[in-house]
Amino acid sequence: MEALTFPRYSPDDIVTYLRGHLLAGAEARGLTKADLFANPKPEVLHMIFMRILQKVYGIRLEHFYMMPVNVEIMYPQIFEGFLPVCNLYIHMERFLPVCRVNDFQIADVINPKAKRTARFLSGILNFVHFRESRCETYLELQMNYKLAMEKHQQLETANQEAAVKLEKLNTVPVEQQAEFKQLSDDIQELEQLLSHDYRRKTAAFQEVISQKKSDITERTRKLNELKVIMATFKEEQEHLKSKIVESPEEMKNYMELMKETVNRLKKSKEEVIEKYEGYRDLVEALPACQSEVQLYQKKMERQEKNMEILASVLSEVRNLEDQLESAQIELKKGKTDEVSLKRLVTAKHERLSTAEIRIEKKREDVEQYKQSVLEYCNRVQEKRGAVYDKVTAIHNEIQQTRFKIQQLNENAENEEMKAKEIYLNLKAGLEKRHDSLIKTAKNYAASREDKIAELKKGLLSIQSPGSSS
């Protein structure tokens, strides 16, 4: 048992934790270190175990005084004093294997030892700390899940509102449907006319432009040819200058040739300028066409205004679509968060299922141990039944003796009554006898006195004649 899976806490730490987190009021103030470790008091330990079970499992105080229903007990009054201790032992025997304590016995409740109670309380405190941390993480996951669900609901409501707005924008009111149809028909007609005119004019302009481009390409080709010829002439001139000794006559001839070529180039340039002026005259003839184009431009402006209205509607639609897309993105994020939370919850459930499997195994072991304890209790119950039979026999004998004593008391009372009657009769007889004796004594005394008086008289009479003689 030395290779523990939980740390050992010092007695001071255990006492401070019990005072600060488990007990309250007079219980916390009255708890001392000597009550648990120097000389453990069973009643204090029972109180701490009950508070721990109340905190972890929510067991109320009256549950410890309830008789078990799943076992048939013939004489429940026998268990009245032992019932709270037995229920406390049963609950602690189920709870302590969860805290990695597997050697808990009933002697630890009835006659606790300091070292074992310190180890049990260390395991319980370690489990309580672990339970509090897991509860915090579970509450955080629950809060995150609730927030995600609220956000999901908000996004769904926003999505529904945006869909309603889109339907409102897409549906034209009944009052404006005729005008909308007329405007759309006019816009289509204008578009067709403008597109037809634009195509016709663009085709004519493209033909003119293609002709001009072809002329320009021919002129550029001729200019390029002349440039090439000039370059070849320059190369030949440089080559000849390097080979031939220059003379003034040759230079003059060469200069005349160059002048002739320059004159030819000037003539070609003048021709190009003349053609350019002819093209400019053609371009100046365009204002007549521009008036028509302005009319078409006015029509196009009207169409542009209508298109701007449509564009504003389309922009609102696009904004709503963007809002929908953002809402859908947030929904996807919420769904991913929800999936991650569900994965975490499933992982927690798997861990809980594994823990429940272990707990079930422990419960099976506990049930087997409980069955053995119940068999032992049944044996004890049988022995107690025999003892109870003996006790009932003794109780019957006691009742019989009590009945006999009662009868004897009644007989004694009767004899006493009779003796009292005899005593009263005797007393009355004695009183009568005493009265008769008193009367006889009085009569005797009176007769005696009479006799004495007579004797005195007789003596006096006898003495008187003697004196006279």
The full 3-state SS of 46-111, as one line of letters, equals HHHHHHHHHHHHCCCHHHHHCCCCCCCCCCHHHHCCCHHHHHHHHHHHHHHHHHCCCCCCCHHHHC
Average pLDDT, the chain: 78
| 136, 242, 253 from 342: Cα distances, Å | 18, 94, 101
Q: Which pLDDT does position 248 carry in this prediction?
A: 60
Token representation of residue 82: 């032992």
- Within 8 A by CB and 6+ apart from 251, the residues are none
Whether pTM > 0.85 for this model: the answer is no
Crossing angle of helices 287-468 and 83-95, in 10° steps, is 150
Rounded CA-CA distance 21/131 in Å is 14
| Sign of torsion over alpha carbons 45, 49, 55, 59 | negative
Write the DSSP symbol of residue 78: G
Instruction: Tell me how crowded residue 88 is: count the other CB atoms within 10 A of its CB.
Output: 19
Please give the backbone phi and psi of residue 37, each rounded to the nearest 5 degrees, phi first.
Answer: -120, -45
The CA distance from 84 to 89, in Å, is 9
Residue 45 · residue 104 · CB < 8 Å: no
CA gap 49, 123 in Å, rounded:
13
3-state secondary structure of 100: coil
Q: What element of type H or E holds 176?
A: none
CA dihedral 174, 178, 183, 184 (to 10 degrees): 80
* Residue among 19, 27, 74 nearest 386 (CA): 74
* Lookup: tokens for 435: 């009265």
Which among 67, 75, 86 is positioned nearest to 387, based on CA atoms?
A: 75
Closest CA to 36 of 122, 113, 125, 124: 113
CA dihedral 200, 202, 204, 209 (to 10 degrees): -170
CA distance 389 to 397: 12
The predicted pLDDT at position 143 comes to 92
- Cα distance between residue 101 and residue 1, in whole Å: 9
Positions of the chain with pLDDT under 70: 1-5, 68-81, 172, 237, 239-252, 254-255, 276, 278-317, 320-321, 324, 327, 463-469
Contact 373, 106 (CB under 8 A): no
On whether the CB atoms of residues 108 and 120 are closer than 8 A, the answer is yes
